[in-house]
């Protein structure tokens, strides 16, 4: 749930993505809480396979967050492009497993894993997106001491 735009962070000189809550939801308390919950959940995670949130804000009553800008395509689009080499599929699976393991260690359950919420960068890195339906378990909450990020497994890169 959100409208995403490419933008330039003038202070740091980098391209970013801005995710706005759609204006039709700006007065819906449930939508506002869901959007805030996503920002809190994702910002509490630091993992190479989870899209990073850099900042949050509000513009004219519309909340937004600033995320890393990714180049590539969603897994949904990649699947639509045809069969992928087995090494690529295994590599993406390992990366997603690592990302979800890190989220679960922080007490965050994504609850909406689907090809449209997984991004494959131009370098073959998988990134989990859209934690809008995430559930925070009682055991751990964002803001609690950080769990150790599992060591990065070496996964097969994209095939040439």
- Give per-residue pLDDT as tens, 38-76: 888 888 889 999 999 999 999 988 899 999 999 999 999
- 77 part of the active site: no
* Domain membership flag for residue 38: yes
Residue 146 falls within a domain, yes or no?
Answer: no
Domain with 129, as residue range(s), is 3-136
Evaluate whether residue 55 is within a structural domain: yes
In a domain, 41, yes or no: yes
Query: What are the structure tokens assigned to 154, written together?
Result: 């070496």
From 55, 58, 77, 112, active-site residue: 112
Domain-embedded: residue 45: yes
Distance CA(2)–CA(64), nearest Å, equals: 9
**pTM over cut 0.85:** no
CATH code of the domain in which 94 resides: 1.10.510.10
pLDDT in tens, 87-140: 999 999 999 999 999 999 988 888 888 999 999 999 999 999 987 777 777 555
Contact predicate 19/2, CB 8 Å: yes
Q: Is residue 142 part of a domain?
A: no
Q: Where does 47-107 show beta strands of DSSP type E?
A: 53-59, 62-68, 72-74
CB half-sphere exposure, 155, CA atoms < 13 A: 24
Instruction: Please report whether residue 31 resides in a domain.
Output: yes
Domain count, the chain: 1
Residue 153 lies in a domain: no
């Amino acid at each position: 749930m959100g409208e995403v735009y490419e933008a330039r962070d003038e202070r740091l000189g980098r391209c970013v993505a801005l995710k706005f809550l759609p204006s039709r939801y700006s007065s819906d308390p449930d939508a506002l809480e869901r959007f805030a919950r996503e920002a809190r959940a994702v910002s509490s995670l630091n993992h190479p396979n989870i899209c990073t949130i850099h900042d949050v804000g509000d513009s004219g009553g519309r909340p937004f967050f600033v995320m890393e800008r990714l180049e590539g395509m969603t897994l949904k689009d990649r699947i639509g492009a045809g069969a992928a080499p087995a090494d690529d599929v295994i590599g993406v699976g390992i990366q997603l497993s690592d990302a979800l393991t890190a989220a679960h260690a922080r007490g965050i359950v994504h609850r909406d894993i689907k090809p449209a919420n997984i991004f494959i960068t131009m370098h073959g890195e998988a990134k989990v997106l859209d934690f809008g339906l995430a559930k925070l378990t009682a055991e751990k909450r964002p803001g609690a001491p950080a769990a150790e990020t599992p060591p990065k497994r070496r996964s097969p890169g994209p095939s040439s």
